Structure 1
Amino acid sequence: MAGKQAGRAAFSGARAWFRRHEQTLLIINGVNIALLFMLYFFSVATHASTYAAAGFVSAFAAVLAAFIFATVVWKGLVPAIMCMLGIVLVHNAIILPYYPPSVPAFPEVGVSSPSAAEPSAEVSAMVATGMHFFLGLGMVGFAMIIAYRPGFLFARNRPPPAEDQWARYPVWYDNVKLVGDHREPMVPAKSLMEDRDRYLAWRYEYVLAKIYGAPHLVRPLGLVPEKQTVFVRDDETGLLVGKVRHSGYFT
């Protein structure tokens, strides 16, 4: 039990650290992506075939890719999976030039000798390597956008979320207001509703009402001033206007 609590505490601490340093992590990820670019172009340009160079480049690329993945994995399953697939493609594209194909990848029709087919195999491998690298890099970038800046993917002029339209109204917490030197009598909100309103009250988490001339969100089972409460109704249907309790119901 103590071990689980310690693990949860460590995980929560790590998440808090990542949140505090998001901007720094994005900058470091940009540097890592630039280094991966350099490794890729170095691999393509040198065509080195020594195992020592291949091992060093592979290890360096793996470290860079692992850091990028660590900064994305805590943001959710979808960006983590997308980032993992992307860095695998990027790493493979960096390493493949060190292991040139020994046989043609796509045998040409009508090739008379094996030597004539070798350039085609090398070109095909390089084209595939480039496609893998830029596809993987695109997936990594898309994963980082989902993780850190998902707003970039939202359409402009989209309707605001349903919660936002009610955020500007204060909630009435069965307050008792003074009217002159007397207290306003408080009654259940349902007692001021019509029969059809009481029948549909289960749909609402809050209903909109003007209390002392100011709009408030009122619980259907709450208490409101008897003479200073006017419920807001829809102009077309005449039903109460309010925040629905269960999604899928529109009033």
Structure 2
Amino acid sequence: MASPRKDGPKGRHALLPSPATAAAAAGRWFERHRQTMLIMDAVCIALLFLLHIFTATVPSFSLGAAVSTVAAALASLIFLTVVWKGVVPAVICALGIALMHGSIVLPYNAPPDPQFPDEFFNNRPPEQHPSAKMSFHVAVEMYFALGLAMVAMSMIIAYRPSLMFTKNRPQSVEEMWNRYPLWHDNVELVGGRLEPSVPALTLMDERDRYLMWRYEYVLADIYGRPHLVRPDGMVPQKSTSFVRDRASGLIMGVPRFTGYFA
């Protein structure tokens, strides 16, 4: 007998994906189209640059609303390609596109040249009145340049953060240990003879065995090459020596728990 169909609001909501699932799916889609996003960002920035030149040279007030709408649409597309990469690049990008958009629409809202009273200059007439046109021209150029720099920084943080790293920055723990191969209890021929393997714990002293709960892997020199060995693994008896810290004398290795370093 077929089960009754569950309709109603509860059944319909059960078919809808959760916000976390939808966000994960959107992130995977953006990651697959990463190169397309970068190309679209370059096109949008180029179009914003053309709009910036157009408004600075031909400030046609009848086109102010249309130019502002196009600039807002292009800025929104740039923000959409960066916001999914995290809060920091999203905030920097939002500030940058706000400055770029403001520099494009600013010429359509320029006031007339101000007339400052003589009291502002200590009761002496100025030699030359400041020009609002020149002030707005400088502000437009500076706003657009600063906004473009912030957008470029947000894209670097989002897509290529390694460019922001210093050359001699400290290596992470994962990078430090990934350069060593794992020892898989394999047996190798040495001088044409098969060397017997023994548990790694038998080659350690009592203090080392007592501290083995801290290690996921220990660093050992096997056949003249450093390897990462499991504490309960098998190693060649005569061709294995453990690498120790010079200061403490303890065996070096990958910590099993966060906060314990050896």
2:23 counterpart of 1:11: yes
Secondary structure of the corresponding residue to residue 147 of structure 1: helix
Equivalent residue for 1:64, pick from 63, 74, 79? 74
For structure 1, the residue ranges without an aligned partner over 5 or more in a row are: none
Q: What number of residue pairs does the alignment pair up?
A: 242
Q: Which residue of 2 aligns with 1:22?
A: 34
Q: 1:39 aligns with which of 39, 46, 51?
A: 51
* Unaligned 5+ runs, structure 2: 1-13
Q: Deviations over 1:170-229 (max 9, x none)?
A: 3345x47599xx996764x44542233234434433111245766432233x24358365
1:142-181 paired onto structure 2 within 5 Å: 142-172=153-183, 175=185
Q: TM-score, normalised by structure 1?
A: 0.78
Correspondence 1:68-83 to 2 at 5 A? 68-83=78-93
Q: Which amino acid aligns with 1:101?
A: P
Aligned partners of 2:187 and 2:197 also within 8 Å: no
Q: 1:211 to 1:195 in 2, by over 3 A?
A: same
1:49 aligns with 2:58: no
**C-alpha separation between the residues in 2 aligned to 1:105 and 1:144?**
43
- Structure 1 pair 56/105, CA: closer, same or farther in 2 (3 Å)? farther
| Whole-Å separation in 2 of the counterparts to 1:236 and 1:8 | 48
Pairing partner for 2:217 from 199, 206, 211: 206
Q: How much does 1:88 deviate? A: 0.7
Mark the CA change 1:178 to 1:24 in structure 2 (over 3 Å): closer, same or farther: closer
The alignment-based identity, stated in percent, is 48
In 2, distance between residues paired with 1:106 and 1:171? Answer: 77
What do the CA deviations read for 1:147-188 (whole angstroms, capped 9, x no partner)? 112122222244543322322333345x47599xx996764x
Q: What's the RMSD between the two structures over aligned residues?
A: 3.6
* TM-score (structure 2 length as normaliser): 0.75
Corresponding position of 2:207: 196
